Structure 1
């Protein structure tokens, strides 16, 4: 049996590959996040990252993750940002509701940048 090759992504602009979850690839542009299925070729905008413009480019931590939440049948995106005097803020995006929630953690003023996708 031959495994089908991924279909090329048709997108005008620059995209960065984020994480993988259940065969789906999280891609990001400067303004939006996309979910791409390389086997069907389907690509869909799932979240806007417009809110990140309130943080300077130097303060954004490129620590992101993608996971599936079976209790809500939703894919979630997790991103850490440096939040001024409060330290680090964890931004959790829901692909289902297309909304973000912010969780501040006063115990972690500094986080070493790394990437982990599960």
Structure 2
């Protein structure tokens, strides 16, 4: 039986892998039926706001992704080239931040 830490790590790894493939339905299935998820930001950005149901997860990603510059916004997993690295104590991370450009801002 997996510990809470192992189970959380497995879900996080699946999330990052599916995020990298841009698989919104695969990401969505990792969420509970009921969620409390608030994405802060300007109302001018269509992916900001509160989500309360699993069914809102995939549309969040399909709405957000087109607004990022292809090839400049990416999922980063430290030491991700080997299986040993994936089992290390370092956890995956996502970087969007200043590498993205929102089309709604004229970019």
TM-score range, shorter chain: under 0.3
Which structure dedicates a bigger proportion of its chain to strand?
1
Normalised to the residue count of structure 2, the TM-score between the two structures is: 0.28
The structure, 1 or 2, with the larger RCO (C-alpha pairs under 8 Å, 6+ apart) is 2
Normalised to the residue count of structure 1, the TM-score between the two structures is: 0.26
Which structure dedicates a bigger proportion of its chain to helix?
2
